[in-house]
Structure 1
Amino acid sequence: MAEDGREPKGYDGPTGGWGSLRGMTRIELSARAGPGATLTLKEQNKPGGYMCSSCAWTKPEDPHAFEFCENGAKATFWDLTTSRCEPEFFETRTVTELREWGDYRLEKAGRLTEPLRYNPDTDKYERTSWDEAFSAIGAKLRELDPKSVTFYASGKAALEPSYLYAVFARAYGHNNLPDSSNMCHETTSVGLKKVTGSSVGTCQMEDFDHVDAIFYLGQNPGTNSPRILSTLQEVVERGCRIVVFNPLREKGLREFVSPQDPVQMTVGKPTRIDHLYCQVRPGGDIAALMGVCKRVLERDAEAQRLGRQRVLDLKFIEQHTNGIGAFLKTLTDTSWGELETASGLSRFQMEQAGDVYATSSNVMGIYGMGLTQHVHGSQSIGMLVNLLLLGGNIGRKGAGCSPIRGHSNVQGQRTVGITEKVKLAPVEKYRELLDLETPQEDGHNTVHFVEGVLDGSQKGFVGLGGNLANAVPDHARVHEKWRDLDITVHVATRLNTTHCLPGKTSWILPCLVRAEEDEQASGKQWVSIEDSFSHIYGSRSSRRPASPHLKSETAIVCGLAKATLDGSNPKLDWDGWTADYSRIRDLIAATYPEEFHDMNARMNEPGGFWRGNPAHERNWKTDSGKAEFTDPTVLNACGIGDADGRFHLVTLRSNDQFNTTIYGHSDRLRGLSGSRMIVLMSPEDMRANDLIEGDQVTLATDNDGREGDMRRAVTGLKIVPYDLPGGTLAGYFPELNPLVPLWYHEELSQTPASKGIPVRIERG
């Protein structure tokens, strides 16, 4: 540590390599994973095997010998623990006591083994039977106005239960179907669709064989999707240049050692991943990309003067785009000084990035939530698409726009009907195939649901996985009101904080994990998932279930539906669908015939099957029928700008984390470990504020004078020096979620703006 206590932390090693293997081994021991977990890893993400329940990165047609990453292995070890949280666990522990444990300690209690019912008289969960649970839940749901009940879905649930969950909700009488996309990538679903006509990425795996440059924005592959690193390594080694825009200098985008390569693991050198690393301010991507575009236009004008090949693809722009005139005028009218201030980058850095674009034939844009979780995140996506459109870099080999999804099937859930928006639901097919008339008004997304919890209009919550109460913003208000719900139902594998906020009646229904054998009346069952590239894969495992009392997510959804609905519609064959999942897939194929035809036959093909993407074929499903250039209204995507004493806080996952699941307390790739109650700050900002490492502070949300808004603060945070842009802080999700006001969200998607929270530092 430097004498002044402000030496920035960091990690000396590369991503991957021996550090990754040690990290996996540490979690395997901590999770007390059974011997079957190692066998599962051998078949993980391979044709005919188990599809990882961690991230949604693609499953290749020709897999490596070990087609899993550090985070995927941790997820498998965590799922296949030998620890058990049996009903006896609750006999000596009240829910009030458990609420203080925190998610890590709660999950360490192990796999739930039997259905549980909350007893408000004793403040404890108690053993119950499946029949009693289904009957009582169904009776309570029938008492309530369906529109006062929300069905939430975590992104891990497979296509089969997800499709039926959406059918159940609409047969019950509502479209209140938020899922974890509302909390993460909904801005892509809205913003990307607005400009390309596609709500998902346009790239395919083969595009990486031809890409010359990748612009990589707001995503940390070392922690969030490590399997992409092998692909990035391959493209770099054949000459592709990667330009990174991110506030933190993440190790996963700097150096990588492939655990698949014995030579590199022993005597070889790490592969340098980034060609240029731009530490943009939170929300500064709009201005940074505008600067890149200005440089591209300069290079194009230079090429014209010298009689060289143009940088702009004029034929593509004329035939396939709309709105370039307004964008070019704004670009011309915006000065370099304005772009430097808003982005936090120098003109030279933006020009360097523009030179990479101008000298590359095929360019790809890859991004994560660091680009989108801002008040103006849709405009950030629009600006990235603007850059790609200038060179015709969408809808051709080696180019395109590729958001990296988090949950393993969050994209697939939206595909098969889990949406609150009526226009996105297969309403006509429900009528044709199931004789089902569905509600015609849009339902609640996550923000609307939470608003309903706060004002008392929401009475019931059914959660298909997840830990929503801890994932949402505004914890102080939300947690207080959550217990006022008339009923809360949780389909779960382990305990978490949301379970410890029971409604007036509350149930925990324990389910199989995807890595466990699922046997029903017709035999062992397959499920299916969708990856970030819109490929569909079958998944099956032979691991023994953690308890003979567990049911699959599909069986639980069907059991709840059968107990809740009146049974008057013979086409809603809940027993038949539980017995044979192939019948559900036949129904999915009939509902979406262009995308899912012959689903049962195709899902186990190596590499899965692609459901298609119109924008990939330059078929633009926009209002104009063309790809849209957008004219930005702001230069920085944060909703509240700069002021004296104001910082913008970025929330992060650690290396031992997947969303709200905490596997341990190591953040190896940032050189951090131990407490998660920390705030990262640049040494320069520490000096300016007379702070040293270890000083205890409070972060308080800076509401910018919003009239009548409440105080939000998190206390007991310790300062840690870190390499960050000026005016930027960083800390962990979900510990810092209380600082995000419910109203501080992306303007179109209402996704929480968790990557640029305005805060002030208070001492002590």
Structure 2
Amino acid sequence: MGQRGDRPHIYSFGGPAGGWGSVRSLADILTRERIDARGYRELLRQNKPQGFMCVSCAWPKPADHHPAEFCEEGAKATAWELTRRRTTPEFFEKHSLSELRGWTDYDLEQQGRLTHPLRYDAATDKYVACSWEEAFDAIGAALRPLDPAAVAFYSSGRTSLEASYMYGLMARMYGNQNLPDSSNMCHESTSVGLKAALGVPVGTTRIEDFDKTDAIFFFGQNVGSNAPRMLHNLRACRKRGVEIVTFNPLRERGLERFTDPQNPAEMLTLTETSISTQYHQLRAGSDIAAMTGIAKYLLLWDEKARAAGKPEVLDHAFLAGHTVGFDEFADAVRAAEWGDIEAETGLPRADLEAAARVYAGAGAVMAIYGMGLTQHVKGVENVRMVVNLLLLRGNIGKPGAGPTPVRGHSNVQGQRTVGITEKTELVPVERLEAQYGFTAPRKKGLDTVGTCRGIIDGSVRGFVGLGGNFLRAVPETEAMEAAWPSLDLSVQIATKLNRNHLFPGKQAFLLPCLGRIERDVQASGPQAVSVEDSTSCIHGSRGKVTPASPHLLSEPAIVAAIAKRILPPNPRLDWDAWVADYSRIRAAISETYPDIFGDYERRLFTPGGFWKGNNAAERIWETKSGKAEFHAPSGLSAAGFADVPGRFRLTTLRSNDQFNTTIYGYHDRFRGVKGTRDILFINAEDMAEAGIAEGEIVALESDAGDGRRRRRDGLIATPYAIPRGCLGAYYPECNLLMPLDHHAEESHVPAAKSVPVRIVRGNRDEGAAA
């Protein structure tokens, strides 16, 4: 099984992002997944008007699209869904769940698309086929007696706006707001931080801003693996002289060099575009310190300019008219010592001065960031520090400027827009009550961390998962896997088998659904769905491929069927009518959110999507103060733990052969790793100091100080360009090293980008700390 070779191959990759390497990678997965001519045709419909929206990342889909508007990662996601491989009931007749727990993530999903509804049979430890009616009736019978507070309704960010709206409504009508989602694991720090500072929980830029910006600052985002279509925007920026300043612990190839696979001249001549004009490898979790250093220079230069009667460096008119808290922030910046900033970042002061000069000289600046900022104990402060930096020169609410968080899942931002949240204040509950005639819960529900705590302590008794691989994605893996079978009911709605499915509750059902690329025909005819991208644009999506199995149901159909089993009849809500015609769901959404979704149906397939609006982009600040708010950080480090001898900051990473927990293969081309995921990236000087040989097998142990032993064995020590005191290893395999309480302080996002660990040599019983 799998792609593992006889031995792992570690090498130095010298090529650019994109280019022929991308073409070869695409050809490999299309062949491996047995994609035929229809699959190639579907790729040409990807991310285009009247086509389907990529099931991978949420990067914008431009109106002026390329002939092939997909990237290497998006094409892998499409091939993964269109695979001709099938996981049938016969497969489960041959394999118990105990046996399958020994398989890798790749091998599980590589079995192909699920074809039939399944229930868990404890006597044989196997899934067995059942009818849809049997499954729905049993799920309803299990959920109705449970205390609603003891049930969690998780949803993956791939779920459409239509299904998400139905799902959130069902949970609230059932009696809870226990709606954990994938945003809880990644960008909740953005939602909290931007909302507090600007009054909106999302970024303020749109794709058109790339044409108007003068400089781009990158923080903790790997564009080459996580949003490769953005490379076209970055390439265009560089061609017109835009400076791109990058802060990231690892050197990522997509932020270094790019060859456009859709440019014949570049492909034939092997021409590359340099992306970053400055690349600063700071220590994991030290972005606050780096931005503090930049701000110190801006404040100093502004004071000197004003004293000399020269043009101001800061935008004082903007600061006075649109912000509060500047003086307190400026005092904190001035008080920060350069020695502390340099020690925290690992960067010389001159590097921060160089970055500050770019920022000071640019009329419009975009700040692009990812989970390298949000997944820290001080993740919310990281986000607010980005806002602080932008506010200094009025870089919010003008063309070519503003915060640009890069979302992962294709509709993770959209889910929040239509009610997938545990927070009452983010949902128009009074409007829902008037619309559907019920009393909505006001008590804050469970987020991801709260759900995990409830499963471990036994207070959560039921779990319904609308997509995703929850158990594999969360921290505290071993404790979670041990606790999961105690659930009274677990329901998983999925397209492929994954590790979460191998840990059934006392009753468990695995329900296969249509994928977004597949034709969805209901009573009124073929249906379309919609998603929201990272820049708040809504896109219609229409699948045309024959479904993987005639036994599949759509996500809206599955949600409606469960809702009818657990809720009393409601004369104001006809679930069957919604399933028959998804435009009725969109009409209901527009009634709940008229300011966003007015004229929804007509605008559904607008080229480039239709913008839902963003008040902060118009310099309307819906904050407590009515203005954009500065925030003085509590310290220079976002890691949340002290540096002591032997303790490292572990950053968990995705390879460019995976999307979140989905592993497409064993080739992380950009980092030169093939045939394995059991890798520990470590600074060569740290290796030498610890006496670790290249290729030595080591382990990592959690150093959280809570007395619990968490260990990941079998890692190949590999020298890599990473700052001293920092380590890199793959997600989700290293999630077991993260304590559940190691999360962002306000947002509860697991702090996966700075996990306290120690390196251990030797075997599990006799190992010694390096």
TM-score, normalised via structure 2 length: 0.97
Q: CA deviation at 1:572?
A: 2.1
The answer to whether 1:172 aligns with 2:174 is yes
CA contact (8 A) 1:57 1:225 kept: yes
Partner of 2:98: 96
1:300-347 Cα offsets, whole Å, 9 max, x none, are 234335543211100000000000111111111111111101111110
CA contact (8 A) 2:177 2:423 kept: yes
> Which of 104, 107, 120 is the matching residue for 2:109?
107
What CA distance in whole angstroms lies between the structure 2 residues aligned with 1:603 and 1:436? 29
Partner of 1:414: 416
Q: Secondary structure at the match of 1:680?
A: strand
CA contact (8 A) 1:9 1:720 kept: no
Q: Secondary structure at the match of 2:453?
A: helix
* 1:572-651 aligned within 5 A: 572-651=573-652
What CA distance in whole angstroms lies between the structure 2 residues aligned with 1:332 and 1:506? 58
Q: CA deviation at 1:206?
A: 1.4
Partner of 1:125: 127
CA contact (8 A) 2:486 2:505 kept: yes
Partner of 2:655: 654
Partner of 1:503: 505
Matched residue type, 2:633: P
Partner of 1:527: 529
1:399-444 Cα offsets, whole Å, 9 max, x none, are 0011000000000001000001111122111112111211121110
CA contact (8 A) 1:8 1:723 kept: no
Distance 1:693 1:673, change over 3 A: same
What CA distance in whole angstroms lies between the structure 2 residues aligned with 1:433 and 1:175? 18
The answer to whether 1:292 aligns with 2:294 is yes
Q: Secondary structure at the match of 1:463?
A: strand
Please, which runs of 5 or more residues in structure 1 have no aligned partner? 1-6
1:243-275 Cα offsets, whole Å, 9 max, x none, are 000000000000001111100111152000001
CA contact (8 A) 1:40 1:541 kept: no
CA contact (8 A) 2:178 2:446 kept: yes
Partner of 1:281: 283
1:145-172 Cα offsets, whole Å, 9 max, x none, are 1110100000000000000000111111
Structure 1 residues 42-51 or 31-40, which shifts more?
31-40
What CA distance in whole angstroms lies between the structure 1 residues aligned with 2:438 and 2:534? 31
CA contact (8 A) 1:11 1:251 kept: no
Q: What is the CA RMSD across the aligned residues, in angstroms?
A: 1.1
Q: CA deviation at 1:34?
A: 3.6
What CA distance in whole angstroms lies between the structure 2 residues aligned with 1:622 and 1:420? 20
Number of residues of Structure 1 aligned to a counterpart in Structure 2: 754
Q: CA deviation at 1:10?
A: 3.8
Partner of 1:4: none
What CA distance in whole angstroms lies between the structure 1 residues aligned with 2:21 and 2:453? 43
Q: Secondary structure at the match of 1:74?
A: helix
What CA distance in whole angstroms lies between the structure 2 residues aligned with 1:103 and 1:144? 32
Q: Secondary structure at the match of 2:486?
A: coil
Partner of 1:512: 514
Q: Secondary structure at the match of 1:397?
A: coil
What CA distance in whole angstroms lies between the structure 1 residues aligned with 2:17 and 2:408? 19
* 1:694-709 aligned within 5 A: 694-703=695-704, 705-706=705-706, 709=707
What CA distance in whole angstroms lies between the structure 1 residues aligned with 2:86 and 2:647? 46
Partner of 1:3: none
> Which of 727, 730, 734 is the matching residue for 2:728?
730
Partner of 2:62: 60
What CA distance in whole angstroms lies between the structure 2 residues aligned with 1:79 and 1:665? 18
Q: CA deviation at 1:634?
A: 1.1
TM-score, normalised via structure 1 length: 0.98
Q: Secondary structure at the match of 1:699?
A: strand
CA contact (8 A) 1:9 1:721 kept: no
The answer to whether 1:161 aligns with 2:158 is no
Matched residue type, 1:683: A
Q: CA deviation at 1:298?
A: 2.5
Q: Secondary structure at the match of 2:238?
A: helix
> Which of 751, 754, 760 is the matching residue for 1:756?
754
Q: Secondary structure at the match of 2:595?
A: helix
What CA distance in whole angstroms lies between the structure 2 residues aligned with 1:344 and 1:636? 12
1:658-687 Cα offsets, whole Å, 9 max, x none, are 000000000001111111111100111111
What CA distance in whole angstroms lies between the structure 2 residues aligned with 1:130 and 1:696? 48
What CA distance in whole angstroms lies between the structure 2 residues aligned with 1:730 and 1:321? 38
Matched residue type, 2:755: I
1:714-741 Cα offsets, whole Å, 9 max, x none, are 1111101100000000000000000000
CA contact (8 A) 2:10 2:673 kept: no
CA contact (8 A) 2:648 2:726 kept: yes
Partner of 2:4: none
What CA distance in whole angstroms lies between the structure 2 residues aligned with 1:331 and 1:457? 45
Matched residue type, 2:129: R
CA contact (8 A) 1:514 1:541 kept: yes
What CA distance in whole angstroms lies between the structure 2 residues aligned with 1:84 and 1:19? 29
CA contact (8 A) 1:34 1:80 kept: no
The answer to whether 1:445 aligns with 2:447 is yes
What CA distance in whole angstroms lies between the structure 2 residues aligned with 1:284 and 1:674? 32
> Which of 356, 363, 366 is the matching residue for 1:364?
366
What CA distance in whole angstroms lies between the structure 1 residues aligned with 2:695 and 2:447? 40
What CA distance in whole angstroms lies between the structure 1 residues aligned with 2:568 and 2:364? 57
Partner of 2:765: none
Q: CA deviation at 1:103?
A: 1.4
CA contact (8 A) 2:55 2:78 kept: yes
What CA distance in whole angstroms lies between the structure 1 residues aligned with 2:743 and 2:270? 46
Please, which runs of 5 or more residues in structure 2 have no aligned partner? 1-8, 763-770
Q: Secondary structure at the match of 1:143?
A: coil
Partner of 2:668: 667
